[in-house]
Amino acid sequence: MSGTLGYVETQRVVLADQDDPLLLRGGGRLDHVEVAYETYGTLSPARDNAIFVCHALTGDAHAAGLHLGAKKRGWWDNLIGPGKPVDTDRFFVISPNLLGGCSGTTGPLSTDPATGTPYCLDFPMLHMTDLVAVHRRLAARLGVERLYAVVGGSLGGMQALQWVIDDPDALDRALLVAASSRLSAENIAFSSVGREAIMSDPDFCGGRYVEQGVFPWRGQKVARMMAHINYVSPQSLEAKFGHRRRSHGDDWTLQPDYEVEHYLQHQGQVFLDRFDALSYLYLTRLLDYFDPFADPGTAAALRRTRTRFQLTSFDSDWRFDSAQSAALTEQLRDLGVEVDWAELASPFGHDSFLLEPPGYHERIAKFLA
């Protein structure tokens, strides 16, 4: 019988310093890397029951349970917990905030040890392998040499794929949900407009807004409103809002009037309270550049892995549609990798990976059994 986790705490650990810096794929280096993370469950004596959770673009370390004094449970609480598909009675679950984020892990707003001021746009560009390098350091720090599984949705699934490429012997199972091995031109276009909105905001201040005591909230709000449209599906918006307005008759206005407009206004506004504009710029750009099968070393790495993959896509997801999962499945199978892919029916669009459409949780539980 499934249950829920109780109170959990976010922990922090320094995983790189001047004596052991993080050397980045693009040639840069970070002399101080601190990571925020949470764990659930207990590591077995054999250290063979660890599952690593990689979060999506705007996620954080708080994947499950409840923080003391908070009302909102972790973002994947419906999946992680006692008796749930990622069963904390059975597994030791590790969930960090990724590199470049803004929820406790080193990112653009962190202090540059060389200057004593925030990095801002002096923060180095990141590659997916840099995120995984930090994840691997965290797993090692926690005493885990080999993972039972890595689980991730959206950007989290891409981290799982990169992990297998970087260390083909490191994990038994890789679960990728609503993910892709290369963004479409449409996806890159959406991200480009979002970044332009942020960087064109008069309060962006060349990226050093924090030093001016301001925040590019107008641009970030617009970026989130636009992005949120491709997280949901046309049918879900129609079912929830239809053509309903708040005004009546011929009372026309240029201000938000339709219910769907007010919904997007709300999504944009609440996003300002939990995410930073610079992290949004860096992480969306990292997604644009992700193209692992263009790397000549990828094929050799995947040919020798014994990691089993499970890919899940959703029929209403138009951000990372099923065609992208089908392409990745074919790429993996051509290299001899064992892959189980299924498209599930869901009305919720890309956000399906955070919810419970029919068959989804059962599918994950079976693969982890």
Catalytically active residues are 154, 317, 350
Cβ–Cβ contacts within 10 Å for residue 214, how many? Answer: 14
Cβ–Cβ contacts within 10 Å for residue 257, how many? Answer: 15
Distance CA 278, CA 256 (A): 28
Distance CA 150, CA 310 (A): 11
The strand pairing partners of 40, in sequence order, are 93
Give the end-to-end CA distance of the chain in Å, rounded to a whole number. 15
| Contact status, residue 356 vs residue 78, Cβ threshold 8 Å | yes
Distance CA 285, CA 305 (A): 28
* Residues present in the chain in total: 369
Q: Is 308 annotated as a binding residue?
A: no
| Contact status, residue 332 vs residue 161, Cβ threshold 8 Å | no
Distance CA 279, CA 269 (A): 17
Q: Is 224 annotated as a binding residue?
A: yes
DSSP 354: G
| Contact status, residue 344 vs residue 312, Cβ threshold 8 Å | yes
Distance CA 253, CA 248 (A): 11
* Binding site feature residues for substrate: 224, 351
